[in-house]
């Protein structure tokens, strides 16, 4: 039986009986680890094993490990990776060093993840921040230069792949112009189509990525009534059409305030709207069982093109990592970042 079209956030270091029973019944396509679920390497490894045993499915276990501010794995148990804007700064000094560093930094992330049973990472960010926008993207972006972003993002994505970890480009079709944080409000971008075209360029250049995440943003030039996540116009015309993305499309978190303000109804209705608009999988990240149950009610079993896309992502995630000397990798990485 194919899994359910949902990825569920886990915010506890061990499974309790109620959550275990729900996962066995719901069979979500993927699980997502948050900071509260990550205590030690051994504990995360055991949790990943338990999650897959509970679902009865070799689920991809994702995490948000971008580096910088967005890092679920933190010291002292785990190393610190720089915000990806540091690769952009390095690119201005030494382009070759920056490309190698972006690849190697993400290869080192993949090395940590894969060893614990985590085989998906919600990165790289392809958003192009503009002056005056909300700082939620900020140094999570490689650069403000649209021509540099895909060069470094491609290197980062290939670094994950070398370590047997699937990536996910985000946030389509671009979060860099948002005047507010979609975790807290519903951003409305009033830029012209010509201006928005600049933001599409990085996504067009990496349209062959295996997975992407939508933005909970209203782009008035394309669809003044609905955020991209719930807009058939934006998904069909811009994401699938203009960008040419053919991979697995995931919503951003259904719990975010942007969707609460954008539409009536609860998590079930938000899940239904995103899937109906053209998302393949929705994310529900609170870690609260009743929220998981509500989101699951709005989902369906993966089938047709969505199932094909999901299987393609699994192929990236389930590949074994290549040989890698992490100590030598860290030494080289630190040298590159000081170039």
Residues with Cβ within 8 Å of residue 100, at least 6 apart in sequence: 155, 336
Q: Which residues are catalytic?
A: 183, 252
Residues with Cβ within 8 Å of residue 21, at least 6 apart in sequence: none
CA 16 → CA 21, 208, 245, distances in Å?
9, 39, 38
> In angstroms, rounded to a whole number, what is the distance separating the alpha carbons of residues 262 and 301?
26
> In angstroms, rounded to a whole number, what is the distance separating the alpha carbons of residues 199 and 174?
6
Cβ atoms of 218 and 186 closer than 8 Å: yes
């Amino acid at each position: 039986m194919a899994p359910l079209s949902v990825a569920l956030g886990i915010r506890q270091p061990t499974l309790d009986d109620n959550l275990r029973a729900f996962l066995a019944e719901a069979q979500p396509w993927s699980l997502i680890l948050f900071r509260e679920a990550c205590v030690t390497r051994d504990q995360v490894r055991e949790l990943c094993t338990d999650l897959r045993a509970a679902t009865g499915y070799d689920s991809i276990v994702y995490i948000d490990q971008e580096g910088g501010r967005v890092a679920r794995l933190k010291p002292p148990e785990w190393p610190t990776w720089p915000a990806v804007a540091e690769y952009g700064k390095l690119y201005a000094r030494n382009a070759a060093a920056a490309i190698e560093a972006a690849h190697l930094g993400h290869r080192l992330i993949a090395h940590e993840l894969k060893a614990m049973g985590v085989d998906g990472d919600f990165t790289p960010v392809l958003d192009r921040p503009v002056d005056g926008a909300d700082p939620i993207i900020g140094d999570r972006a490689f650069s403000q230069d649209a021509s540099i972003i895909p060069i470094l993002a491609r290197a980062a994505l290939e670094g994950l792949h070398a370590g047997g970890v699937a990536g996910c480009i985000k946030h389509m079709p671009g979060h860099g112009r948002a005047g507010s944080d979609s975790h807290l409000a519903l951003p409305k971008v009033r830029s012209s189509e010509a201006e928005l075209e600049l933001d599409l360029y990085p996504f067009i250049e990496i349209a062959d990525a295996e997975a992407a995440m939508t933005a909970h943003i209203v782009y008035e030039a394309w669809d003044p009534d609905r955020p991209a996540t719930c807009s058939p116009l934006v998904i069909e015309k811009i994401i699938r059409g203009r960008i040419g993305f053919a991979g697995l499309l995931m919503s951003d978190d259904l719990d975010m305030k942007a969707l609460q303000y954008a539409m009536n109804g609860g998590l079930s209705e938000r899940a239904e709207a995103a899937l109906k608009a053209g998302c393949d999988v929705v994310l529900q990240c609170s870690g609260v069982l009743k929220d998981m149950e509500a989101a699951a009610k709005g989902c369906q079993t993966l089938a047709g093109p969505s199932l094909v896309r999901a299987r393609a992502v699994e192929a990236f995630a389930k590949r074994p990592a290549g040989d890698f000397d992490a100590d030598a990798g860290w030494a080289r990485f630190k040298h590159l970042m000081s170039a």
